[in-house]
Amino acid sequence: MLNPYRQRTVAHAITCSGIGVHSGEKVNLTIRPARENHGIRFVRTDLPNAPVIAALFNQVVDTSLATVLGAGGCIISTIEHLMAAFSGLAIDNVRVELDAYEMPIMDGSARPFFERLQKAGIEEQSARKHFFVIKDPVELDDGDRFVGAYPARSQKFTCTVSYDHPLIRNQSITIDLNEQVFAEQVCAARTFGFLQDVEKMKRFGLGRGGSLENVVVIDDTGIVNPEGLRFEDEFVRHKVLDCIGDFSLLGMPILGHIVTHKSGHAFNLAFLDKLFNSKDAWFTSTRPAYPVSSPANIQEALAI
């Protein structure tokens, strides 16, 4: 069993291809192992000098339709599903190369990335992980939107969504993040959109790569996709997937309980900025005072 306190990378390089959900452009993606303390970095191999962007919240330049990193005139769009897969496997160090500006949407979930990473294997490294430990509550609210971070002895997420639609209404989920939970409860949940919004985006030249193969489409009464839903509450499960991906942009795993209500990428990132600047509410440590969640010790961690 891998040591939850040690840094990790992939054992072997993996490749995949697909289209960007908004751009409609084909993209080839390669994920390579990286040295200790390298972090997660994206590389645009299609541009001169192959510019590199670190996967950190202060590199986010847009959150209107997805989480987008940018630096020096270069962008990497729609990174949240891959970032969630890295978090689900507790991967710290990789080099992500792509030959277009937008990540492939695959099937609209994190499962294709997660399964490829599992198959490639995870390599334990010698250096210790750095953990972002919440010691005092931090909250951000704006009307009915809310995000909070609270002390906890695991990586815990609670997400709630509320839509005026008979199929969704109010849905909530709480998870303690580890590989097994991510695999069974989160990674297969697909991105979703309302038919009227999808049609509007396409009129404005957006969502060019979206289809029933990679988006759950909702009309006035139900699901347009002939295969239906993967989970009865797939909508909130995808929201927690996005939340995991966004919060991974702190650059280290969080030990704390993240609670969101009707939040999205923009509000998640606004909260990360507030959290990071609330210096008295957190600390970083390579030796947290309580166990780190893993399938083997999660109950013990919660009991202490």
Q: Residue 81 CA to chain centroid, in angstroms?
A: 5
Across 180-191, average pLDDT: 98
pLDDT for 203? 77
Residue of 158, 178, 176 lying closest to 87 (CA atoms): 178
Across 14-38, average pLDDT: 97
What one-letter code names the amino acid at 293? Answer: S
Q: How far is CA 17 from CA 20, 25, 31, 50, 245, in A?
A: 10, 11, 12, 19, 20
Q: Where are the domains of the chain?
A: 6-128, 131-303
pLDDT for 291? 64
pLDDT digits (tens, 9 = 90+) for 58-116: 999 999 889 999 998 999 999 999 999 999 999 999 999 999 999 999 999 999 999 99
Across the strands, what pairs with 245?
Answer: none
The single residue of 81, 238, 261, 265 carrying the catalytic annotation is 265
Residues 37 and 146 sit within 8 Å (Cβ to Cβ): no
Structure tokens at 99: 């030959």
DSSP-derived secondary structure letter, 295: T
Range 131-303 classified under CATH 3.30.565.10: no
Reply yes or no on whether the pLDDT at 201 is more than 90: no
Q: Is 85 helix (H, G, I), strand (E, B) or coil?
A: helix
Is 130 an active-site residue? no
Residue 125: band (very low, low, confident or very high) from pLDDT cuts 50, 70, 90: very high
119, with CB counted inside 10 A (0-12, 13-18, 19+), is exposed
Reply yes or no on whether the pLDDT at 239 is more than 60: yes
- What CATH number does the domain located at 6-128 have? 3.30.230.20
- For residues 184 and 85, what is the distance between their CA atoms, to the nearest angstrom? 13
Pick from 67-81, 255-269, 280-294: least confident: 280-294
